[in-house]
Amino acid sequence: MNLPNKLTIARIIAVPFFIAAYYLQWHLVAFIIFILASFTDMLDGKIARKYNLVTNFGKIMDPLADKVLVYAAFCLMIPDPVPGWMLIIILAREFLVAGVRTVAASEGIVIAAAMSGKIKTVLQMIAVCMLLIAPVINQSWFLILSKVVLWAALVMTIVSGYQYVVDNKQVFAQK
């Protein structure tokens, strides 16, 4: 198994430790675990592309690992500071994209990730980081800024989902 795939697996393994730290209200520890796990997302992709280590395992598991990490965090933060309806919209977009990718793959069509989806993921990760560290910083302005970033992530989630459907409408026309 190559290094990028090991980093992807490490990100998945980090999730239960992140959850435990969050439930124990070890805000700084949860924040550090989340930051390190998020960093592996950037790192594994860069290494895989630079050294031509892209694998089918990585293509499937890397985005799945991202979603497990980010959405575990969002689930833990319901109802405050992340409202449940917001998570439903975010998850609906993910299920839509996964469905379209599955249909496309069954037709032999490979759909690359769009820049808007990558921006969405980065905004979601930043929002989670900010919301995780907000209790440690304990400043109302920082919590407000965190929620602004969360809203930006939601908007980008909707925009990227719309773009994904429009850019891949040929998949919907398949018989």
Q: What is the pLDDT of residues 9-66, one digit of tens each?
A: 999 999 999 999 999 999 999 999 999 999 998 899 899 999 999 888 888 888 889 9
Q: What is the pLDDT of residues 91-126, one digit of tens each?
A: 999 999 988 888 887 887 777 778 999 899 999 999
The residues spanned by each domain of the chain are: 1-60, 77-175
Radius of gyration of the CA atoms of the chain, in A: 17
Burial profile 51-68: b = 16 or more Cβ within 10 angstroms, e = fewer = eeeeeeebeebbbebbbb
Percent of the chain with pLDDT over 90: 71
Q: How many CA atoms lie within 13 A of 104 on its CB side?
A: 17
Q: Are 11 and 40 in contact (CB under 8 A)?
A: yes
pTM over 0.75: yes
When the pLDDT of each residue in the chain is averaged and rounded to a whole number, the result is 91
